[in-house]
Amino acid sequence: GDYEEILKYYELHETIGTGGFAKVKLARHLLTAEKVAIKIMDKAALGDDLPRVKIEIDAMKNLSHQHICRLYQVIETSKKIFMVLEYCPGGELFDYIISKDRLSEEEARVFFRQIVSAIAYVHGKGYAHRDLKPENLLIDKEHNLKLIDFGLCAKPKGGLDYHLNTCCGSPAYAAPELIQGKAYIGSEADIWSMGVLLYALLCGFLPFDDANVMVTYKKIMLGHIDEDCVTELSVFHKQSRESILELISEWKYDHMSATYFLLQSKKARGKHVCLRVPC
Ligand SMILES: COc1cccc(Nc2ncc(-c3ccc(C(=O)NCC(=O)Nc4ccccc4)cc3)c(OCC3CCNCC3)n2)c1
């Protein structure tokens, strides 16, 4: 069977994660008694994604960094691919943030430096991660972070275009150009995701999030628009917030743009956000 060879070297235990085409089992290396994580992929289920797995395995062989999960062994049988990987006893950063509500600035700084270090290394090697989120950052036995790329999630059932669906879990970390389905620079999208990650570390919740995916997209696209300034402009011009938002988002550098920018700088200086009508 397919498990014959892996069972020569490892004792398989419970499943610690599933992600569409891949499942991850906790295992123990027989010779050293060390715990490992074994990612098991079914070649048939992978279908035309199989080449992506080969690319990932080659990438893993090329990535050796203190904050990236180590690949130890690859076993390929007729039906399966097994990746023997470093096991992180601390679990996901996601669960850790939830358990602590939010992290202190000290702890967030240490973790964020490790994430930046891992991503700088990955970019330096010419790769982009493209699915940065706390579920893909694990905590090792020294309480340091290890980056993983669990991203082999199932292709969207709805047949939606990949970009629109950003099928891998929540789009909350996706950069505006990525959710617009534009051609994007992977490394630049990663930088955006790191910004969202830093926010999540420090606040314990996400900057752009909603139960409705399309509302999340809207929030990401509006990210930098200041709500108070929009309110003031909509009252002043006696127009709906939506129409003011449209006008501002066109960035025409007309009088509307100027008024918006000047309101924003008034607010930034702690002054009351109002226009020359009785406040
Ligand atoms: C509940 O979770 C718990 C609870 C308690 C302990 C653990 N420990 C624990 N350790 C290790 C793993 C693991 C390591 C590597 C890979 C991998 O896919 N490497 C490939 C890889 O990293 N490519 C790559 C990296 C960088 C750049 C490019 C490519 C996959 C899994 C794990 O998984 C569980 C999943 C569950 C779903 N979310 C994601 C993690 N879990 C996990």
**Which helix (H) or strand (E) is 247 found in, with range?**
helix 241-249
φ and ψ of 238, to 5 deg: 50, 45
* Residue 152 binned pLDDT confidence (cut-offs 50, 70, 90): low
In this prediction, residue 56 carries a pLDDT of: 87
In this prediction, residue 133 carries a pLDDT of: 95
Residue with tokens 């295992």: 27
What DSSP character marks residue 158? T
Atom number, ligand 1, closest to the C-alpha of residue 69: 22
3-state secondary structure of 271: coil
| 157 CA from centroid of ligand 1 (Å) | 24
In this prediction, residue 150 carries a pLDDT of: 72
| 214 CA from centroid of ligand 1 (Å) | 28
80-96: buried (b, 16+ CB within 10 Å) or exposed (e) per residue?
bbbbbbbbbebebbeeb
Whether 131 sits among the annotated catalytic residues: the reply is yes
54 vs 144, residue with greater confidence: 144
Atom number, ligand 1, closest to the C-alpha of residue 17: 36
250 vs 72, residue with greater confidence: 72
Is the pLDDT at 132 greater than 60? The verdict is: yes
| 2 CA from centroid of ligand 1 (Å) | 22
As beta bridge partners, residue 24 has: 17, 39
Atom number, ligand 1, closest to the C-alpha of residue 89: 6
129 HSE (CA, 13 A, CB side): 26
Pairing between β-strand 137-139 and β-strand 145-147 as defined by DSSP bridges: antiparallel
**High-pLDDT (> 70) share of the chain, %:** 92
* Residue 123 binned pLDDT confidence (cut-offs 50, 70, 90): very high
Residue nearest to atom 13 of ligand 1 (CA): 37
Neighbours of 62 (CB within 10 A): 11
* Amino acid letter, 194: M
| 70 CA from centroid of ligand 1 (Å) | 10
Among 115, 123, 150, 153, say which to mutate for ligand 1: greatest number of ligand atoms within 8 Å of CB. 150
Residue nearest to atom 28 of ligand 1 (CA): 149
- Computed over every residue of the chain, the mean pLDDT equals 90
What DSSP character marks residue 135? G
Question: How many residues are there in the chain?
Answer: 279
* Residue 279 binned pLDDT confidence (cut-offs 50, 70, 90): low
Angle at 113 between CA 18 and CA 222, to 5 degrees: 75
Q: What is the predicted ipTM?
A: 0.95
48, 95, 131, 209: the catalytic one is 131
3-state secondary structure of 22: strand
In this prediction, residue 182 carries a pLDDT of: 85
Angle formed by the axes of helices 241-249 and 227-237, to 10°?
110
In this prediction, residue 160 carries a pLDDT of: 40
| 153 CA from centroid of ligand 1 (Å) | 13
Q: How far is residue 206's CA from residue 204's CA, in Å, rounded to a whole number?
A: 7
Lowest mean pLDDT among 30-44, 146-160, 191-205, 221-235: 146-160
Cβ neighbourhood burial of 153 (10 Å; 0-12, 13-18, 19+): middle
274 vs 12, residue with greater confidence: 12
Six token digits for residue 218:
């809207």
Lowest mean pLDDT among 8-12, 19-23, 98-102, 275-279: 275-279
Residue nearest to atom 36 of ligand 1 (CA): 17
pLDDT digits over 209-266, tens only?
A: 999 999 999 889 988 889 999 999 999 999 999 999 999 988 899 999 999 999 999 9
197-207: buried (b, 16+ CB within 10 Å) or exposed (e) per residue?
bbbbbbeeebe
* Residue 158 binned pLDDT confidence (cut-offs 50, 70, 90): very low
Residues 6 or more apart from 92 whose CB is under 8 A from it? Answer: 134, 135, 137, 138, 139
φ and ψ of 35, to 5 deg: -75, 145
Atom number, ligand 1, closest to the C-alpha of residue 136: 39
φ and ψ of 21, to 5 deg: -85, -15
pLDDT digits over 20-62, tens only?
A: 788 999 999 999 999 999 999 999 999 998 998 998 899 899 9
Is the pLDDT at 117 greater than 60? The verdict is: yes
Ligand 1 pocket list (CB less than 6 A): 16-17, 19, 24, 37, 39, 56, 59-60, 63, 68-69, 85, 87-89, 91-92, 122, 129, 135-136, 138, 147-150
